[in-house]
């Protein structure tokens, strides 16, 4: 039960919208259970013997970026978090179609998952085009909060990298202010093109191509001190 000391985590927004296609629904029932991270504390580096690194993607949307990165780096174990069931169903389809053995999917809140992982276990974290919650009264629902920044600093090993991307100007300012306020991160940008131009290893998704925000996409890369 929820109490003042241990409030329940809550993922805001729609958990499901349109009906899930039959094939994707079948994969959610059959494949997803086998690629979920284990319950309780776990080290992602141990989920794939011989993995060179472990990465985390928070809010993977339809899973296109996560799956493409996993295909590029079969030596890396990638854990993705997404509470939106339609996105999870899409991601499971990508995993199945591409035969990816280096992806694990947590269909729930990233904060709950992060709390179960050990210090210094991750080499990279991606937060790409998260829900901006544009109304001021909803800003507390944004994933980038001081507490989450501190948790990501705990999970990333020294030299590990955090990437935040958005096409909402207000969220860009919000995230930059809060991440730079942390004593644990350095911003790698030296000139405007370092954040205005997509990084060489970035993978454009269909959501990004829709240009639903109010500015051109920006990409902030940070390094764990």
Selected catalytic residue, list 96, 131, 184, 194? 131
Cα–Cα dist 143/65, whole Å? 19
Kind of pairing between the strands at 122-128 and 156-166: parallel
At what angle are helices 169-180 and 146-155 packed, to 10 degrees? 60
Does 109 belong to an annotated binding site? yes
> Radius of gyration of the chain from Cα atoms?
17
Does 131 belong to an annotated binding site? yes
Does 188 belong to an annotated binding site? no
Q: Closest by alpha carbon to 94, among 85, 84, 81, 103? A: 103
Cα–Cα dist 73/55, whole Å? 11
Does 171 belong to an annotated binding site? no
Does 137 belong to an annotated binding site? no
Cα–Cα dist 56/124, whole Å? 6
Please name the residues in contact with 221: beta carbons below 8 A apart, sequence gap of 6 or more: 161, 162, 163, 187, 188, 189, 194, 195, 199
Cα–Cα dist 158/137, whole Å? 35
Q: Is residue 58 within 8 Å of 125, Cβ to Cβ? A: yes
Does 82 belong to an annotated binding site? yes
Kind of pairing between the strands at 103-106 and 53-58: unpaired
Does 96 belong to an annotated binding site? no
User: Is 131 a residue of the active site?
Assistant: yes
Does 112 belong to an annotated binding site? no
What does the DSSP 8-state code read for residue 18?
A: S
Annotated binding site for S-adenosyl-L-methionine: 57, 82, 109, 131
Q: Which residues are annotated as a binding site for substrate?
A: 135, 167, 205-208
Per the annotation, binding residues are 57, 82, 109, 131, 135, 167, 205-208
Q: Name the residues annotated as catalytic.
A: 131
């Amino acid at each position: 039960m929820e109490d003042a000391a241990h409030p329940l985590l809550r993922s805001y927004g729609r958990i499901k919208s349109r009906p899930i296609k039959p094939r994707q629904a079948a994969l959610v029932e059959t494949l997803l259970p086998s690629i979920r991270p284990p319950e309780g504390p776990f080290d992602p580096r141990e989920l794939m013997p011989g993995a060179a690194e472990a990465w985390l993607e928070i809010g993977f949307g339809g899973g296109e970026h996560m799956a493409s990165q996993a295909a590029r780096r079969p030596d890396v174990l990638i854990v993705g978090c997404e509470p939106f069931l339609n996105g999870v169903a899409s991601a499971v389809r990508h995993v199945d179609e591409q035969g990816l053995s280096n992806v694990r999917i947590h269909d729930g809140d990233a904060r709950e998952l992060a709390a179960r992982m050990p210090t210094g276990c991750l080499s990279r974290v991606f937060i790409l085009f998260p829900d901006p919650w544009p109304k001021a009264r909803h800003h507390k629902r944004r994933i980038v909060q001081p507490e989450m920044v501190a948790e990501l600093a705990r999970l990333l090993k020294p030299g590990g990298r955090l990437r935040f991307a958005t096409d909402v100007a207000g969220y860009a300012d919000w995230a930059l202010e809060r991440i730079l306020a942390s004593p644990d991160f350095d911003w790698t940008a030296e000139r405007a093109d370092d954040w205005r131009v997509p990084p060489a290893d970035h993978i454009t998704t269909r959501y990004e191509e829709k240009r639903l925000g109010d500015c051109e996409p920006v990409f902030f890369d940070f390094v764990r001190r």
